[in-house]
Chains A and B, each alone.
Chain A
Amino acid sequence: MAESTFGVLGIFKSGADLLKAVPKVKEKGFASLEAYTPYPVHGIDKAIGIKKSKLGILVFIMGTIGAVSAFLFQWWTSAVSYPLRIGGKPYNSWEAWVPAMFEVTVLFATFTAGLGMLFIFNKLPFFGSPILKSKAIAATTRDRFALLIQPTGGLLDVEAARAALLEAGGTDIEILPAPDLTPPGPGWWARNLAGIALVCVAVGFGTMWAIKIFPTVKPMVEMENQAKLDAQKADGFFKDGHGMQLPPVGTVPRHYMPILAKSPDQAGKDLVNPLPVTAKVLQRGKAGYDIHCAVCHGYMGRGKPLLDKFYKASPANLQSSTVMNAPDGYIYFVISKGKGSMPSYEADISSKDRWAIIHYVRALQRSLHAKEEDLK
């Protein structure tokens, strides 16, 4: 036979007939067989000698990669790159990551199974086996069982194959021509990719349009709608109708002891910095300084504000001899009560933190006015 064939196909009436026919056909020397049945016939894959699919191991490997990468991703985002304390749990909370690990495992595994089946083992993008164009295909989806003899290596002896199938009890023998296996040209690719792009654009615009026309339903509003006091809003909970309340008369918040001195000079005489100069206190002071003070006084305290182009105010130069010679109590009073256009920071910075900031300011001053003996 000069013409190449896809195979020779015969029809059987039942799964049992098909199973009986397989060894008879094999006896004649035809090794490459395929069966088409309306439902799984138990034992058929063993009979025709289908090799175990390699898809399983591929799916296992990809599933494992999915689990490991999901773990590493969550570990890196929540414990390394941007550690956030959530629910009082440690950063390294593997328990919370398991659901996502499971999902990604399933995602990788199923995509590998689906796409691997289609592209690696079913050899996409070649669509349609010649069997789909055969006369037998309709019957094999109903109540008939087809056995196909395919060429092993070279060409198939069509007449011998037909005889073998007839002898094994097959009917309606059909010879299927070889499929056209030329790879699809650029036109095919262009058509298909353009089609996919068109669908994406249509779905995108469709969604946008749908959201504009139909009112969107907010999912999970329980947390938003809970009964709570809102600091900036009216509320019937308190008698005066305000959500935000002043402290009761005669009370002082913890860590915010009011300053008793009447003037900065008096404070300079009366008050002594209660904190020791330790690395921890300086760290705390630096944090407070950088948050509250540096905006106007500058990170080095030179009095050059970060926003001086927009604000015409001229903040004090903390490196000046006036501030350097001022006692700690004086600076404490200024932070607490403000001076000139500087507002009071009494409510924002705890008294302990104010003292820590003063230590840090002293360290800043010393860093720019180092004396020879500091080197020793």
Chain B
Amino acid sequence: MSEGTVTGATPTSNRVLAGMSAVGLAGVVLTYFVEGPARFWADWLIWFVFLVVVALGALFVVALQHVTGSVWSVPLRRAPERVAALTPWLIPVAAVALFSLPVLFSWAHPGASHVRAIVEKSAWLNYPFFITRLVICLVVWVASYRILVGKSVQQDTSRDPHITVMLRRFSPVFMVLLGLTITSFAFDWVSSLEAVWYSDIFGVYLFAGAALSGLAASTLACIYLMRRDRLTKVTADHLYNLGGLLFGFTVFWGYIAFSQYLLQWYANMPEEVFWYKQRTVGGMLIVFIILGIGHYFVPFLALMTEDAKKKWKRLRWVSVWLLFMQIIDLYWMIFPLLGKNMNLGWPELAFALFFLSGGVLVVKRAMEKGSDVPVGDPFLEAGLEFHL
């Protein structure tokens, strides 16, 4: 297979991305001093969670292929593996995000000791345990990344089929760890912002978004490589399967999102329903409607037919759209915390510029190293012969 261009000098496009990221960083820093810490931390949290869901989603896609023993996906498995290169970068972003705790999180406010519902949760929501859980999550994720992706890259040179066996045994373990860590992460970093609120299904909700975002980012990476003739033997039939997974997880997200909403709307319990009330008034109602239509109906209809899943152009815009919807979803969940100050403006653009160009740069640099397909995987040939 064609090797990626390994050159000493940094390509121009990378320098442009680094420059854009630097401009974004200036805007990010400026936000803190001009718009105040609350706005800054809300934006930082959105992008922190977004990076987590994309990186974990990509790891989930990789592990899913090993768990199911898929052969068709072997030729394009490097795409999610390279998107997962974002995982180690979660550590610095998370370290900075820890400083948002006293600003944004209602259980960390001084007045929280007067709220009974928060006091009852204080065994879980306290600084030492919270930070311990974050560290455990990060250790699990980065270690799993090192195993799932590191071993796969190692196989390129060693050609050792035992690595495939080992990855197929490790992946189910990772799935369990992922389920536990992403649930804890979702409770900690998104739902504990409003510590009174609770929703048992919330971890699944964030996981549904993560699986979808990981698939969308992987599809984009795959199409990026195909358009540059680096995955020449990957056909429309392979894309069809990616599109099928995107379609399936779109429905999964819609099902979970609506289940959570319907139950809380029906029961109408004050400690639950206020969360939705805050998010369906004024401008947030528009965001809520956009989310329902854009995150579910648009990709559902766009990917419904057989042909749609085979067209790379269609898959590309649907993937970009789904990633955009994931950000809107996080904005909708996190920004109402700011009360009247939840407008969109230049700070959000600066954050988007910083994190998007930075994230793309990380993935792009990962694509410059090593082979574009897992050349050492014994199932590669069978995977290339895949037909619908």
Which residues of A does B touch, CB under 8 Å? 42-43, 46, 52, 56, 60, 87-89, 95-96, 98-99
B386 at the interface (CB under 8 A from A): yes
- Bound Cα distance from A46 to B387, whole angstroms: 10
- Bound Cα distance from A88 to B268, whole angstroms: 9
Interface residue from A42, A46, A56, A95 paired with B265 (Cβ < 8 Å):
A95
- CB A108 to nearest CB in B, in angstroms, measures 16
Q: Contact at A95–B266, with CB atoms within 8 Å?
A: yes
* Chain A residues positioned under 8 Å from B265 (CB to CB): 95
Interface residue from A42, A60, A88 paired with B387 (Cβ < 8 Å):
A42
- Bound Cα distance from A56 to B304, whole angstroms: 10
Which residue of the partner chain B has the closest CB to A44? B387
Q: Contact at B306–A52, with CB atoms within 8 Å?
A: yes
Interface residue from B266, B306, B386 paired with A87 (Cβ < 8 Å):
B266
B10 at the interface (CB under 8 A from A): no
Instruction: Report B247-260 CB contacts with A as 1/0, cut-off 8 Å.
Output: 00000000000100
Q: Contact at A95–B387, with CB atoms within 8 Å?
A: no
Q: Contact at A43–B262, with CB atoms within 8 Å?
A: no
* Chain A residues positioned under 8 Å from B68 (CB to CB): none
CB interface residues, B 292-315, toward A, < 8 Å: 304-306
Q: Contact at B266–A98, with CB atoms within 8 Å?
A: no
20 A–B contacts, CB within 8 A, in A order:
A42-B386, A42-B387, A42-B388, A43-B387, A43-B388, A46-B387, A46-B388, A52-B306, A56-B305, A56-B306, A60-B304, A87-B266, A88-B268, A95-B261, A95-B262, A95-B265, A96-B266, A98-B258, A98-B262, A99-B262
- CB A50 to nearest CB in B, in angstroms, measures 12
CB interface residues, B 329-388, toward A, < 8 Å: 386-388
* Chain A residues positioned under 8 Å from B305 (CB to CB): 56
By the criterion of a CB under 8 Å from any partner CB, how many residues of chain B are at the interface?
12
- CB A98 to nearest CB in B, in angstroms, measures 7
- Bound Cα distance from A88 to B267, whole angstroms: 11
Given contacts A42-B387, A96-B262, 7 further A-B contacts (CB under 8 A): A42-B386, A42-B388, A56-B305, A56-B306, A87-B266, A87-B268, A96-B266
- CB B309 to nearest CB in A, in angstroms, measures 13
* Chain B residues positioned under 8 Å from A88 (CB to CB): 268
- CB A64 to nearest CB in B, in angstroms, measures 11
- Bound Cα distance from A88 to B258, whole angstroms: 20
- Bound Cα distance from A199 to B150, whole angstroms: 64
- Bound Cα distance from A241 to B378, whole angstroms: 81
- CB B82 to nearest CB in A, in angstroms, measures 28
* Chain A residues positioned under 8 Å from B386 (CB to CB): 42
Which residue of the partner chain B has the closest CB to A86? B266
Which residue of the partner chain A has the closest CB to B386? A42
- Bound Cα distance from A219 to B386, whole angstroms: 51
* Chain A residues positioned under 8 Å from B306 (CB to CB): 52, 56
- CB A308 to nearest CB in B, in angstroms, measures 49
- Bound Cα distance from A95 to B262, whole angstroms: 6
* Chain A residues positioned under 8 Å from B388 (CB to CB): 42-43, 46
Instruction: Report B271-285 CB contacts with A as 1/0, cut-off 8 Å.
Output: 000000000000000
* Chain B residues positioned under 8 Å from A98 (CB to CB): 258, 262
